[in-house]
């Protein structure tokens, strides 16, 4: 063994106090339900009830109807025979009948299979909110706002008994699970009564203390739970209605309660749970054995009703905004829990043979007896990579090895060892941008963890002082785009941590004053618990930091820094700002991402690239639905007069422009052709709206109009629609975007010399503005690119195009000759392709907008921040029906063209800081021609001649104007 290894003390990773277990086994059980599936109802969901028999259909009472769903939220039956609002839809035990009350005071009984009305039970003078079937299946109980409870015979439809005992609305009913003669009622008079049909009177009365909204029996009938106000009460019926416990866990009125026997819970099989829902939007679960809250879940709206399937396979919640939420248990869990019965046959331990692994490890787990001697084997000390490097005094490599382990406790241990040896400066100095990135990335990741904040602040001060001092040679290394981004993240997280600590210190100060004044003696029990919980949160960060105060203080003392984590964070945040500005200035020529630039830097970049404004990068938390919901509903509405006026304008403008072509002298023909090509683009835009289903509500009309508008420009409508929708779905994806994406280096490696010349000539010069001709020929006429289901519609579109070519072209040539064919069709057609290519590259190409791989792509960023709004001469925008107003069109393609400007105004108001806008100019186009060719991870784009200057591109850079 190496003698040095015996002298070296192996480094122990830094130990921290164990964290509190955040998720309980009970929580994992309830999380076994899938994410909620939601269905919007016509009104508030006032009642939910699962059928007792499989397949456990769900009855949903909302507005003037009762809808029966299956477990996948498929509608099985809709019962709408109510003149006014319906209430309390509930199944009979066999699931064959359904009863519901109503605002008119009539109780109706329906056949669930045929939806036919079987009985109309009249007698209540006011609305009936609660209805339930008796256990014998022959009787029905109803409670109304006339303060009466009535027992009905289903067979005859006659009233059997009327029970008068409440003085206010009766809103809750529950039938005893073991006796068909006993049931419970609850009213707004705060009283819960137990009734016995044999005596037709109340046997027990209990005062809940608030209007009762719901109640439920325990399966044993020995206890009852009532819900009303902001609390639940659990009663012992065998003791004459004695109050056992009062649950005060909700902030608003409890609207529903039920007692459910779980199939399997972590504590025991088949244990009971009390579930309650409230207007505070919470569903809470209680264990009645210990009377404790075991789980809670939050919903976005006040909850009015709650139901769980008898086999625990589904969990339904009805909300005040009309949302029905259904969560289903995973089928695998249901099968596992249903197989809890022990095996019937006797099992024997398998015989050990040499064919099993257990045969070879037998005896290794045997424990030594008291008289046995244990001989310790000599084991070679195994050192980690950072230990070996520390032993050889290679401090920089040791720190890099610790960082590569991605274990913060190892990094903390190595840093403390470096501090003890006085070698921290040596480990941090002399690094280039690539060597600094892991250090800064580790700091950004763990700066908000109170176990590491103090140590990382000290390291950060040392690091930033070494690399941001004026005149320091280290400054020249801070030119990496990735390092600049990480410094920006570090600054944001340090500021966020300071903001959180400010709030917690304020909260702690208020609570200290409140508790010191003795005011807590007057507080409600629930409020007192909330106060102490908030106080513990306020102290959590400080307590976690104190656990490791000693080594961190030692480190701070050695580095000459403050021992306060808060002061350290403030210094680190300010120093990071300085470092970020230094890095931004040093790397200004290389950085193309705008997320880390200030407003003035973005304005300078916009001026350089030819844009009016360059927006920030959209945060990851924003979704495309958030952007769509921010726009007014009016922008999605159709106006058929405006839609058909576009067809008229397109036809009239093309006819007028062709007339101008016919009367123009030769020297004015280019201007006339430009006008005709722009008018032909208007034909495309009308068909474009038809392809996006934003022209009419009738798809057949859209298909016909789109096909007719596309045929004269030789564009097959259906193939274009398929590929264009793919472009919208994958905008700015590196491979999947079918409209345009930069060339990748691996593609260039496969080019032949001829192919390379063709690509570079057409994609790297102003000829790029006619590149859509090649795209048109490649994408739209190859049947192998389409599925069997798509081919019939594709063939119909191709037939329309070939029909025009077979009829229209000969007619043009017959009346005007070949020169007329070029003059009246070919040149306007090329003008149309000029605008097609221009719109594509201008609205989806900019040096600061990156194309992303599918794994990194974000829909909201691509459609809002990755799409450019560009203004053109007003006559172009008029003839092209505002196709340049492109950002809202990509956010939601179904916005009609005549609403795009209103949608843009809405986006500017809500999301303007993230939008990029420009006016058409040659400075912007020059960047597109000369720079935006090949995809590059660091710079987004590099030119084709990035490695070697080529004559074509050198000539372009000199000849094309810088501004215009």
Give the Cβ contact number of residue 542 at 10 Å.
Answer: 15
Residue 17 has pLDDT above 90, yes or no: no
- Out of 136-145, 227-236, 770-779, 873-882, pick the least confident: 770-779
| 3-class DSSP assignment, residue 640 | helix
- pLDDT score recorded for residue 543: 38
3-state helix, strand, coil in the chain (%, to 5): 45, 20, 35
Domains of the chain: 39-327 (2.130.10.10), 429-591 (no CATH), 624-959 (no CATH)
CA–CA distance, 574 with 464 (Å, rounded to integer): 10
Q: Return the DSSP state at 685.
A: H
Which has more confidence, 635 or 930? 635
Which has more confidence, 47 or 848? 47
Provide the whole-model pTM: 0.41
CA–CA distance, 891 with 618 (Å, rounded to integer): 13
- pLDDT score recorded for residue 184: 92
| Range of 282-296, 323-337, 483-497 with top mean pLDDT | 282-296
pLDDT in tens, 824-848: 988 998 888 888 878 887 887 777 7
Q: How confident is the model at residue 470 (pLDDT cuts 50, 70, 90)?
A: very low
Q: How confident is the model at residue 544 (pLDDT cuts 50, 70, 90)?
A: very low
User: How does strand 916-919 pair with strand 868-871?
Assistant: parallel
pLDDT in tens, 668-709: 998 999 899 899 988 988 988 998 888 988 889 989 998 899
- CA-to-CA dists, residue 415 to 106, 428, 458, 714, angstroms: 78, 11, 10, 69
pLDDT in tens, 883-928: 888 888 888 888 998 999 999 898 888 888 888 888 888 777 777 7
Contacts of 78 (CB under 8 A, 6+ apart): 65, 66, 67, 68, 115
Q: Return the DSSP state at 65.
A: E
Residue 381 has pLDDT above 60, yes or no: yes
H-helix or E-strand spanning residue 275: strand 272-278
Q: How confident is the model at residue 169 (pLDDT cuts 50, 70, 90)?
A: very high
CA–CA distance, 620 with 626 (Å, rounded to integer): 12
- pLDDT score recorded for residue 559: 40
Sheet of strand 323-328, all strands in order from the earlier edge strand to the far edge: 37-40, 323-328, 314-319, 303-308
- Out of 434-443, 522-531, 648-657, 814-823, pick the least confident: 522-531
């Amino acid at each position: 063994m190496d003698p040095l290894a015996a002298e070296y003390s192996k480094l122990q990773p830094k130990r921290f106090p164990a964290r509190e277990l955040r998720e309980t086994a009970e929580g994992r059980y309830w999380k076994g339900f899938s994410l909620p599936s939601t269905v919007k109802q016509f009104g508030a969901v006032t009642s939910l009830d699962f059928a007792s028999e499989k397949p456990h259909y769900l009855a949903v009472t909302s507005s003037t109807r009762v809808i029966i769903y299956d477990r996948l939220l498929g509608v099985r039956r809709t019962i709408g025979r109510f003149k006014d609002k319906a209430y309390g839809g509930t199944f009979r035990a066999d699931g064959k009948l359904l009863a519901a009350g109503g605002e008119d005071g009539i109780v109706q009984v329906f056949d669930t299979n045929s939806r036919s009305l079987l009985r109309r039970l009249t007698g209540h003078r006011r609305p009936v909110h609660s209805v339930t079937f008796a256990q014998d299946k022959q009787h029905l109980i109803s409670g109304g706002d006339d303060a009466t409870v009535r027992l009905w015979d289903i067979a005859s439809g006659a009233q059997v008994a009327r029970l008068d005992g409440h003085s206010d609305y009766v809103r809750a009913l529950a039938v005893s699970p073991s006796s068909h003669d006993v049931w419970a009622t609850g009213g707004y008079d705060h009283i819960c009564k137990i009734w016995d049909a044999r005596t037709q009177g109340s046997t027990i009365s209990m005062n809940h203390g608030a209007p009762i909204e719901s109640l439920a029996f325990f399966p044993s009938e020995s206890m009852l739970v009532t819900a009303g106000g902001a609390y639940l009460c659990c009663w012992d019926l065998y003791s004459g209605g004695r109050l056992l416990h009062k649950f005060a866990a909700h902030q608003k009125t409890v609207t529903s309660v039920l007692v459910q026997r779980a199939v399997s819970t972590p504590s025991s099989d088949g244990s009971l749970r009390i579930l309650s829902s409230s207007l505070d939007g919470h569903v809470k679960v209680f264990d009645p054995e210990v009377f404790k809250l075991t789980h809670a879940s939050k919903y976005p709206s006040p909850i009015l009703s709650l139901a769980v399937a008898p086999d625990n396979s589904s969990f339904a919640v009805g909300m005040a905004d009309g949302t029905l939420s259904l969560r289903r248990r995973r089928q695998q869990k249901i099968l596992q829990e249903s197989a809890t019965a022990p095996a019937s046959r006797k099992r024997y331990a398998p015989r050990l043979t040499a064919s099993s692994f257990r045969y070879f490890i037998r005896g290794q787990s045997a424990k030594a007896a008291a008289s046995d001697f244990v001989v310790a084997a000599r084991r070679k000390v195994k050192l980690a990579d950072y230990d070996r490097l520390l032993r050889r005094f290679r401090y920089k490599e040791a720190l890099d090895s610790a960082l590569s382990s991605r274990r913060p406790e190892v990094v903390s241990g190595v840093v403390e060892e470096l501090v003890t040896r006085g070698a921290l400066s040596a480990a941090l100095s002399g690094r280039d941008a690539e060597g600094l990135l892991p250090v800064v990335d580790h700091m950004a990741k763990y700066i908000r963890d109170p176990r590491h904040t103090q140590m990382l602040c000290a390291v950060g001060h040392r690091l930033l002082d070494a690399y941001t001092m004026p005149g320091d040679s280290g400054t020249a290394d801070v030119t990496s785009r990735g390092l600049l981004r990480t410094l920006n993240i570090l600054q944001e997280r340090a500021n966020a941590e300071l903001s959180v600590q400010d709030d917690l210190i304020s909260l702690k100060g208020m609570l200290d004053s409140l508790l010191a004044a003795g005011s807590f003696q007057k507080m409600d029990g629930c409020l007192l618990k909330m106060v102490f919980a908030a106080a513990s949160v306020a102290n959590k960060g400080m307590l976690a930091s104190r656990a490791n105060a000693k080594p961190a203080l030692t480190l701070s003392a050695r580095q000459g820094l403050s021992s306060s984590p808060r002061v350290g964070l403030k210094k680190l945040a300010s120093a990071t700002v300085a470092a970020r500005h230094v890095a931004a200035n040093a790397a200004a020529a290389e950085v193309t991402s705008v997320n880390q630039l200030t407003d003035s830097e973005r304005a300078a970049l916009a001026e350089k690239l030819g844009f009016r404004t360059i927006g920030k990068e959209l945060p990851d938390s924003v979704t495309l639905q958030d952007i769509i919901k921010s726009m007014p509903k009016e922008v999605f509405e159709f106006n058929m007069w405006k839609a058909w006026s576009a067809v008229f304008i397109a036809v009239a403008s093309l006819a007028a422009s062709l007339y101008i072509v016919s009367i123009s002298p030769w020297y004015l023909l280019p201007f006339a052709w430009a006008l005709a090509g722009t008018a032909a683009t208007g034909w495309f835009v009308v068909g474009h709206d038809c392809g996006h289903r934003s022209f009419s509500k009738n798809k057949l009309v859209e298909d016909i109009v789109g096909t007719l508008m596309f045929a004269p420009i030789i564009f097959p409508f259906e193939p274009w629609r398929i590929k264009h929708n793919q472009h919208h779905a994958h905008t700015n994806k590196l491979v999947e975007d079918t409209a345009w994406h930069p060339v990748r280096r691996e593609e260039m490696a496969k080019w032949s010399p001829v192919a390379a010349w063709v690509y570079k000539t057409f994609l790297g010069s102003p000829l790029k503005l006619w590149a859509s001709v090649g795209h048109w020929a490649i994408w739209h006429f190859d049947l192998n690119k389409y599925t069997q289901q798509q081919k019939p519609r594709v063939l119909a579109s191709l037939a329309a195009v070939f029909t025009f070519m077979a009829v229209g072209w000969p007619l043009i040539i017959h009346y005007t000759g070949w020169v007329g064919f070029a003059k009246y069709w070919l040149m306007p057609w090329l003008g149309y392709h000029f605008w097609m290519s221009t719109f594509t590259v201008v609205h989806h190409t900019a040096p600061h907008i990156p194309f992303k791989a599918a794994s990194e792509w974000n829909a909201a960023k691509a459609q809002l921040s990755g799409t450019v709004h560009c203004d053109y001469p007003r006559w172009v925008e008029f003839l092209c029906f505002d196709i340049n107003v492109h950002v809202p069109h990509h956010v939601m393609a179904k916005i009609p063209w005549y609403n795009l400007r209103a949608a843009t105004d809405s986006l500017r108001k809500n999301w303007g800081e993230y939008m990029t806008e420009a006016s058409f100019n040659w400075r912007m186009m020059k960047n597109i021609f000369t720079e935006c060719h090949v995809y590059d991870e660091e710079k987004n784009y590099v030119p084709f001649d990035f490695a070697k200057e080529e004559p074509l591109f050198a000539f372009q850079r000199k000849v094309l104007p810088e501004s215009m």
